[in-house]
């Protein structure tokens, strides 16, 4: 399955101050398919408790990956990991977790995205497409940049950074296969409804 709607946890900012796991369960009901847990301060006990809590949602199709934590992903049998430039290589993660694992990678240009694909990445994330408070000082790259980065890319690309449901059409037109968001999903007044709005936008464009 190619997840088209991803949520990334990013502390209280990404949940509006609400309990993270409550928010994730609501997002899963609304149609989020992939969750990246970026919780560097969690102990293994907290990771284990989260895995247990999210097991029913995973049984219904939600995929949960750990940001950079290969050890956690394998020990708790999560769906995979998401990597950045400073983490281990995609090739190392693939060898460690196996062929079935999801291995995502945050790429900064098309060359890096294609290299990640060649090393075995399942998907890449490209950002920031629009200005976003989560990356102050990082200029928006825009849809033209996204189109160039997606050109000849053999794996799915998710667009991140200032993404809203209304912007989904232009992101898909630029070559993204799906979108990712943090606060736009998890900090929305009603996370489940926000996820459903994103899903409608993705479905509408797929049907055209």
For position 16, what pLDDT does the model report? Answer: 96
Residue 152 has pLDDT above 70, yes or no: yes
The pLDDT-based confidence of 1 (bands split at 50, 70, 90) is: low
Q: What share of the chain is helix, strand, coil (3-state, %, to 5)?
A: 40, 15, 40
Contact present, 131 and 121 (Cβ < 8 Å): no
Its domain, for residue 169, covers 5-206
Q: Which residues contact 190 (CB under 8 A, 6 or more apart)?
A: 26
Mean pLDDT of 81-110: 95
- Residue-level length of the chain: 208
Give the rounded percent of residues in the chain with a pLDDT score beyond 70. Answer: 96
Task: Please tell me the pTM assigned to this model.
Answer: 0.94
Q: What is the largest CA-CA distance in the chain?
A: 46
Residue 179 has pLDDT above 80, yes or no: yes
Provide the CATH number for the domain around residue 108.
3.20.20.70
The pLDDT-based confidence of 132 (bands split at 50, 70, 90) is: confident
Q: Which residues contact 178 (CB under 8 A, 6 or more apart)?
A: 2, 3, 4, 5, 6, 156, 158, 159, 202
Q: Does residue 128 have a cis peptide bond before it, meaning omega lies within 30 degrees of 0?
A: yes
Closest CA to 129 of 119, 116, 142: 142
- For residue range 17-62, what is the model confidence (pLDDT) as tens digits? 999 999 999 999 999 999 999 999 999 999 999 999 999 999 999 9
Tokens 């464009």 belong to 205
Query: Can you tell me whether residue 83 is helix, strand or coil?
Result: strand
For position 27, what pLDDT does the model report? Answer: 98
User: Which tokens belong to 137?
Assistant: 């000082």
Residue 207 has pLDDT above 60, yes or no: no
SS (H, E, C) 148-193: HHHCCCCCCEEECCCCCHHHHHHHHHCCCCEEEECHHHHCCCCHHH
Give the rounded percent of residues in the chain with a pLDDT score beyond 90. Answer: 89
Residue 156 and residue 62: Cα distance in Å, rounded?
Answer: 18
- Could you give the number of structural domains in the chain? 1
User: Which tokens belong to 174?
Assistant: 């630029």
For position 139, what pLDDT does the model report? Answer: 83
Residue 69 and residue 187: Cα distance in Å, rounded?
Answer: 24
**Kind plus residue range of the DSSP H or E element containing 127:** none
């Amino acid at each position: 399955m190619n997840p088209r709607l991803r949520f990334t946890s990013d502390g209280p900012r990404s949940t509006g101050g609400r309990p993270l796991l409550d928010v994730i369960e609501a997002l899963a009901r609304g149609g989020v398919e992939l969750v990246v847990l970026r919780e560097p301060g969690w102990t293994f006990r907290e990771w284990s408790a989260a895995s247990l809590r999210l097991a029913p949602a995973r049984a219904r199709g939600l995929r949960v990956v750990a940001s950079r934590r290969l050890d956690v992903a394998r020990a708790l049998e999560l769906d995979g990991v998401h990597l950045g430039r400073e983490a281990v290589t995609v090739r190392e993660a693939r060898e460690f977790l196996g062929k079935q694992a999801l291995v995502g990678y945050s790429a900064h240009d098309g060359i890096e995205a294609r290299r990640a694909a060649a090393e075995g990445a399942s998907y890449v994330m490209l950002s920031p497409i629009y200005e976003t408070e989560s990356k102050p000082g990082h200029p928006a790259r825009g849809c033209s940049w996204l189109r160039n980065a997606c050109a000849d890319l053999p794996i799915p690309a998710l667009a991140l950074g200032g993404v809203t449901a209304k912007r989904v059409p232009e992101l898909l037109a630029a070559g993204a296969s799906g979108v990712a968001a943090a606060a736009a999903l998890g900090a929305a007044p009603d996370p489940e409804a926000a996820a459903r709005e994103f899903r409608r936008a993705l479905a509408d464009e797929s049907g055209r």
